[in-house]
Amino acid sequence: MTVHSASDRKPAGGDKRERILDSAERVFARHGFYTARVAEIAREAGVADGTIYLYFKSKDDLLISLFESRMERLNTQLQEKVGAVDSAPEKICVFLNSYAALAKQHPHVAEVLTIELRQSSKFMKEYANPRFGDFLRMLARIVEDGQKAGELDDGIPALVAARALFGAIDELVLAWVLGGGEKFDILRAADQLGAMTLRGLEKRRQP
């Protein structure tokens, strides 16, 4: 432990908000948004029902805030990993692998993001979901830069490639999560997806 800083004085407030988010993460992963009970989130967070409404406007807002929080963390971590390598192909592999690794590390987050994100039209249509936009643009940017640098084929629009890549890795993560993490090795699958995507599934003719 380090010396206590001023920010230790009122950890309660920030702490409580985090505890509620953590609890919501688990409960939404367990039951899904609609089936989840606010009372259960409160109980697991160790706060009263009403306390949740001191930090979040509504159950909807709680889910949205959870998205924002986790996507922000995800984006930061991916950005970091991806920034450590140079070529576009490498970046793509690192991206896929890191996404899988983070999902493996936080299976509840993966479950919520993967399932609830698509969830109801309510969130997909009425809520802009800016962090997911950032996420997709980050991936599209990698592809676009690689195309401009001549590293990647430009026969496919960067955003389409990014969407498809996300869909592919996300589906793998979903299958892994729903299988309880025991059906296959998600990290290896991510590598295999990277290889397939970059070098192609079709066997090259020519010896």
Interacting residues toward DNA by CB under 7 A: 10, 12-13, 16, 36-39, 47-51, 53-55, 58-60
CB of 177 to DNA, least distance (A): 23
Which residue number, 57 or 188, has a Cβ lying nearer to DNA? 57
Q: HSE of 59 in the Cβ direction (CA atoms, 13 Å)?
A: 15
Please enumerate in sequence order all residues whose Cβ is within 8 A of that of 88, keeping only pairs 6 or more positions apart, or say none.
Answer: 142, 143, 145, 146, 147, 149, 151, 152
Among 66, 110, 139, 169, binds its own copies (CB under 8 A): 169
Contact 140, 134 (CB under 8 A): no
Distance of alpha carbon 97 from alpha carbon 93, whole angstroms: 6
Stretch that binds its own copies, among 5-13, 46-54, 70-78, 154-162 (CB under 8 A): 154-162
Asked whether the beta carbons of 61 and 122 are under 8 A apart, the reply is: no
Does 207 participate in binding its own copies (rule CB under 8 A)? yes
- Judged by beta carbon, residue 49 or residue 80, the one nearer DNA is 49
Q: Which of 89, 97, 113, 140 binds its own copies (CB under 8 A)?
A: 89
Q: Which long-range contacts (CB under 8 A, 24 or more apart) does 202-207 make?
A: none
Pick 116 or 170: Cβ nearer DNA = 116
Part in contact with its own copies (CB under 8 A); list of ranges 6-14, 37-45, 63-71, 143-151: 143-151
Site for its own copies in 41-80 (CB under 8 A): none
Closest by Cα among 206, 199, 193 to 93 = 193
